[in-house]
Chains A and B, each alone.
Chain A
C-alpha cells in the first residue's frame, strides 16, 4: 500500500458516485472530441469542394481584379502556367475568363455569368461539373458548345442541342453577340450557379472579347490543403517582382467560405465550452462531496501524524486519478466514434434533400470526420488539468482541518 493506492481506493469508496461522475466526464469528453472531429471533417470537405469549384487553394489575379471584377484586368497566362507547374507540386491549374453578359433564347433572356474554362482540367477537379456526363463536355472542335445551369436552361425554356445568343462587351467596350448551342447541363445544386452560369471554352471566350492568350483568374489546386504554407514559400517569389499580378490564398479569394467556417467554428467552440463548464461543475461537486464526507477520517490521518501537505497531496492525487481515468476512457470512446465517422460517416441525404450549400459551396452529403489527434490529446489533458484545479480548494479545506474538530465530525 502506498499513497497512490490509498488515493485509488479512496476514489472508489463511493463506487456508484465515482462511476456516474466518470461516465459523465467521459461521455462529455467523447462528445467534444467527436463534435470537433466532425466539424473539422466537414470544414475539410467544404474547403476541398470550395477550392476545387472556386478559387483553388491559391489564385492568381491581376492586381485590382478581385475588388471590382473589371474585365479589362486580364493577364497572359501561357508562360506563367508553365513556370508554376515546373516549380511546384500542383495538382492542377485552372485558367478562367469571367464575363458578364446576356443570354437570349427564342423565348426569353437572362443576365448571366460567363466562364471560359479549360474543359479537361476543370472536369477533373471541379465538383460543379461532377454530375456532367462525358458526352456533354465542351468539345475543342465545336467552339459553339456551351454548358448552362439547370435553372437557367428552364428559365430560357430551351433544351440540350438548342441555340442561344450570348451578348458581351469586347475589349474595346463594343457589344458583340455570338451564337452558341447548349451542349450540357450544370447541376451543382447551388442556386446562384444553376440559375446564372454559362460555361464556354476558354479560347472561345478569349476570341469573343478579343483577348487571345489572356485570362482573369488562374486557380491552383493542390493535392493536399496542408501543403499550402510550403507551396506559398516556393511560389510567392514569382509574384514579388511581377507587380502586375497577385497571389491570394483561398481564404482571401473566397471570404464567404472562410467567414462561414470561422463563424461555425466559433459557435462550435461556444458549445464545447458549455460542455466543459458542465464537466467542471460535475468534477467540483464530486470532489467536494467526497472531501466533506471524509472529514472524520482526515482527522484520524492528521492525528496519526500525516502532515497537512501530504493530505492535500492525497486529495489532489485522487482528483488527478479521476481526471486521468475519465480522460483515457473518454478518449477511447471519442476515438471509436471518430473512427466510425471517418470510415462510415453520416449520410445526410435522408435529412436534407435539396440544398447542400454552405458558404456558397456545395458539400458532400456524407459527412465525415477527420482525425485531429493533437486536439483530442489537448482536450484529454484539459480534463486532467481541470480535475486537478477543481481539487485545489477541497484539498486545501482538508489540509486546513484541525484534527480534534475533524474527528468530532460525523
Chain B
C-alpha cells in the first residue's frame, strides 16, 4: 500500500465518511486513493476556506471530528482562516494538506508554503509527516488530540513523497495513543467541588454563564438539570446560545456588548457567577473586574489556562463540564431563589421590545422570530449565523427549543455560514439547516452555491440584504460621526437572479406581511433554497441603548 492508501485506511478506521476539499498536484496521490477506494465521500468546495468551515460545521453538528483537505501552497494558505476560526471556537477538526516532496522542503519550490509554521498559532497541534511509516501513529494521534481535552483543529502536512512511497510491512492501526505530555484532566478536583457546593448553598443571587464549552462537552442536558435543581438563572455567551431553551423561565438571554439587558443585569448583580466553559471574552464581559468585585467566581473549564486568564477565579474547577455538572447535581440539594429569579424575569419581560412593522420593509428581528416559530413546528433546526448585524439579530431573536446555533464567535469570520451550514446539513440530513447571512458576507462565499447544487445539499439560505456592511456602518455612526467609509455595497447583483443562475430556487421578500409564506415555501423545499430579505435600512444590532 502507498502512503496515500494508508491515510485513507486510517480515516476509515476513524469512521470518517466525508471529506471536504479541493485538489492539486501534491495532494493528488490522496485524491487517487479516494476515488479508487470509493468509501469516503468527497465534497468539492469552490474555495478551500469553505472546506475548512464545512468540516467545522460537520463537526459541530455531528459531534465527530470533521475532515478537510487541500493541496500545498495556495490551497493550504486559503485554509488558514478556517483553521483560525475553528481554533478560536475550539472545534475538533483534522486538516490534511499536501506538501512538496520532503527532499525539496525549504527551497521555495513551486507551491511550497510552510503551512505548519504559518498555522502554529491557529492549530492545537500540527505534524509534518515526512515518514510514511509514521502515518498510522500520526493520524491516530491527530484525531485523539483534536477531539479530547479542549478540542481544536489539528493539521497534518503531507509531503507528496510520503503519500507516494510504499508502506513497509503490514498496516495496523494503533488502538491507543501514548503522548507523554498530553493527558487532559476530566474529573474536577473534589476539594474545589466541595468549595463550589458551599458557595452555591450560600449564594442569594447566583447566575450560571454558559459558554461554548457546554456545547463541546455535550452537556446541554446537565446544564438544564443543574439550573433547574438549584433554581439558578442562566445567561449565555454567543457561543453558548441555544444550549438553554430561549423561553425557559430561568434563561435570561445572551450577555455582552450585543446581548440583552436582563442577561447583563444578571451578571452584574449576581453574588455568585458560575462560568461553564466560558472564556470571559471581551465581547461577552468587557469589564470582568467589575463582575468579580461583586461576586464569587466559580470557573469550570477543561482548559486550565482559561481559568484566571481574563478574570480571577475564587473556585477553579478544571475538568470536563459534563462530568463536573453531573457531580454537582448529585451532591447538591434542591434550592430556591424565587425573589432573584422573579426580579430577573420581570426585567427580561419588560425589556423584550416589540418591533413595529414598516410597510414595504422586512424587520430582520421580526423575521427571525417568525422563522423560529415556524421552524419549531417542523423540527429542531440548526441555525447557522454569519457575522455582522445578521448574527446579532439571529442570536437575540431566534427562539431555540432544542435546536442548535452555530456561528463564528471567537474570530468573527465573515463568510463562515454557508460552508458551515453545508457541513452541518451533510452531518444531519434530516434536520432543517438554515444559514442566515448579510449581503456582504454572502458575497464572500457565494461560490459555494455551486457546491450545494453539485452535491444536492439542501441548505436554506437567508440573505439579510441591507446594501451595506451594516455592522461596520453602525460603528461609523457611533464613533466616526457618521462618516461612512467603505461600507456601501452598491454594485451587488440581483441575488435572486444570481441564485437562479445556479439552478437553485430563490425568492425575495420586501414586507413583514409576506414573510410567513416565504418561510413556509423555503422550509418546504427539498432542494437548497435562498430567501432574500429586503431589510429596512439602519436597523440596529443592539437591542438595548
Q: Do A and B form a real pair?
A: no
**B interface vs A, CB < 8 Å?**
none
**A interface vs B, CB < 8 Å?**
none
